[in-house]
Amino acid sequence: SPECIYWVPGTPERGDPRREIAVSFDDRRRMEDRIYRLRTGYAWSQAPKSRTVRMISNVEVFATSESAFRMVRSNFLISEFRVDGTRFLSGWCGHRFVERAGRWEIQVRQVNLIDCDRNLRNPSIVL
Residue-averaged pLDDT of the chain: 89
Instruction: Read off the pTM.
Output: 0.84
Closest among 74, 67, 65 to 94, alpha carbons compared: 74
CATH of domain 5-125: 3.10.450.50
CA proximity to 8, closest of 115, 111, 90, 106: 111
Could you read off the pLDDT of 2-58 as tens digits, one per residue?
Answer: 889 999 999 988 788 888 889 889 999 998 998 888 888 787 777 778 899 999 999
